[in-house]
Amino acid sequence: MFSGIVEGLGTVTELRDESPGVRLFVREPTIVADTKVADSICVNGCCLTVVEVEGDVMAFQAGPETLERTNLGELKEGSFVNLERSLQVGGRLGGHFVSGHIDGKGTLIERQDHGEWSKFWFGLSPELSKQMACKASIAVDGVSLTIVDSEPERFSVALIPFTLEVTTLGKLKPGDTINLETDILAKYVQRLVEAEEWTPPGGDTPPA
């Protein structure tokens, strides 16, 4: 479990083919110093397991489903990634509960820069929009943000200068792909609504 508060920007140093997956090597001295094999790290919002630590570089293995369903499959040497270590019990929760399980990808369709501040519009599928609402929480590439506008096929967020500086979001340009994780509470609400349709008219329960 994570909070969506990015602890550091990592740099991809190598992508080693392990067909059908890949071994991803990331350099970030501060986080690596307190990381060991088998730890969970949120990489661009995706929960991955550390499989190797050497010096200031840690390695992860990403399978074909992860590479297809997230923007990790688009990384290359020199790419930057958002990093966050898993939450500690009793610690402060600065963002919101983030599981590290990506619900889908979105695309930056418009960037409105106002000096050092920005408003981003992201395009996404209507299925994901059902789990979103104005002023609700969303994790974009692992960054906990508040939704400003929520429409069927797009949503917006307002970004402060600090977020633009210390995360990958400040480097985004229209057309770039981002990972999205909706608020976990929204998933349960949607599931409860859908479950109401499982019982047929008359109150009989569906056959097992």
pLDDT in tens, 35-58: 999 999 999 999 999 999 999 999
Pick the CATH number of 104-194 from 2.40.30.20, 3.30.450.20, 2.60.40.1110, 2.20.25.90: 2.40.30.20
- Tell me the fold of 8-85: Elongation Factor Tu (Ef-tu); domain 3 (2.40.30)
Please say whether the beta carbons of 66 and 18 come within 8 A: no
- Rounded-to-integer distance, Cα 115 and Cα 81, Å: 24
On the question of pLDDT at 204 being above 80, the answer is no
The neighbouring-strand residues paired with 116 are none
Average pLDDT of the chain to the nearest whole number: 94
Higher pLDDT, 207 or 19: 19
At 89 the pLDDT is 82
Query: How much is the pTM?
Result: 0.91
What are the pLDDT digits (tens) for 55-106?
Answer: 999 999 999 999 999 999 999 999 999 999 999 888 878 889 899 999 999 9
Residue 206, pLDDT score:
55
Q: What are phi and psi of 67, to 5 degrees?
A: -65, -30
Q: Per-domain residue ranges for the chain? A: 8-85, 104-194
Q: Looking at the predicted structure, is the pLDDT value of residue 139 above 90?
A: yes
Two tokens at 160? 């402060």
